[in-house]
Amino acid sequence: MNKLIALLAALAATAAAPAFANDKLAQEKSCMACHAMDKKLIGPAFKDVAAKYAGEKGIADKLAEKIMKGGAGSFGPVAMPPNPQVSAEEAKTLANWVLSVK
């Protein structure tokens, strides 16, 4: 029984690790200065971004590019500045994470 509990705990920790790692990456790359998970700050809530683009093909690549290069007009008049400290791989990770937010 203890082995089963240990296995379930390990599986739960593994499942939660990617979400935590990407939340940590978003904090490290200053995304959270303008965005929050569930409410608009300067930029839209991550859940609103995920809802707007749900099911849209190729959107992760477009969002990754916007994370790196900036953009405007998708969520109002406030422009998102470029984030040169984010690599292409990190931007793709962040984009996929944002799209998974519920």
Burial class (CB in 10 A: 0-12, 13-18, 19+), 25: middle
- pLDDT tens-digit map of 68-99: 999 998 999 999 999 999 999 999 999 999 99
| CATH fold label, 2-100 | Cytochrome Bc1 Complex; Chain D, domain 2 (1.10.760)
C-alpha separations of 76 from 24, 40, 93 in Å: 27, 11, 24
43 CB-side CA count, 13 A: 22
CA 88 to CA 17: how far, in whole Å?
21
- pLDDT score at 22: 84
- pLDDT score at 18: 47
State both tokens at 92.
């793709």
- pLDDT tens-digit map of 33-62: 999 999 999 999 999 999 999 999 999 999
- pLDDT score at 26: 94
